[in-house]
Amino acid sequence: MASYKSACTNKLLVAGHSFVRRLTEYVDGKNVTIHGHKVAFHGFGGATAKTLMAKLRSIDPANFCAVFVETGTNDLCSSYVDIVARDILSLVTFLRDRGIRKIVVGEILFRNKPKVGQPSVREFIARVRDTNLRLKKWFR
């Protein structure tokens, strides 16, 4: 395995699906800082934990002190709780292996509109609840 730096660079990464992409559009190129750390946003519409990990391979997450991850909503449209939770855990492991010491995984948010060919709203909300509970248990 490659050796990655783990010193704080005073930069934070917010990465995820379309929520993060929309946040990036809202920020509109303004310099955002949190506690003296410059924030970089990398949001991709339709991103899943697996596709997000692939995207993060190209930006070297070791350039950041901490990473906030917003993923899981798109995953749960086509996969089940066990698979999604495992994929998110794999993403966290990927980031840790590259020297990120602080990783925050955002709670998965539910959708209130059904999409064609996807689970009902009731089923989707149950998947979100169960996945969030599983992740909380694992990350304690």
Give me the CATH number covering residue 108: 3.40.50.1110
* Closest-CA residue to 113 (of 104, 121, 123): 121
Mean pLDDT confidence for 26-36: 84
Percentage of the chain lying above the pLDDT 90 cut: 59
Q: What pLDDT shows up at residue 1?
A: 46
**Number of separate helices (H) and strands (E) present in the chain:** 5, 5
**What is the percent of the chain with per-residue pLDDT over 70, rounded to a whole number?**
95
pLDDT, greater one: 50 or 140? 50
Residue among 109, 137, 2 nearest 61 (CA): 2
Q: How confident is the model at residue 96 (pLDDT cuts 50, 70, 90)?
A: very high
In a domain, 4, yes or no: no
Residues 6+ apart with CB under 8 A from 139: 92, 105
Q: What is the pLDDT of the chain when averaged over all its residues?
A: 89
Task: Give the residue numbers spanning the domain of 31.
Answer: 11-139
pLDDT at position 2 over 80 = no
Q: How many residues does the chain have?
A: 140
Total structural domains within the chain: 1
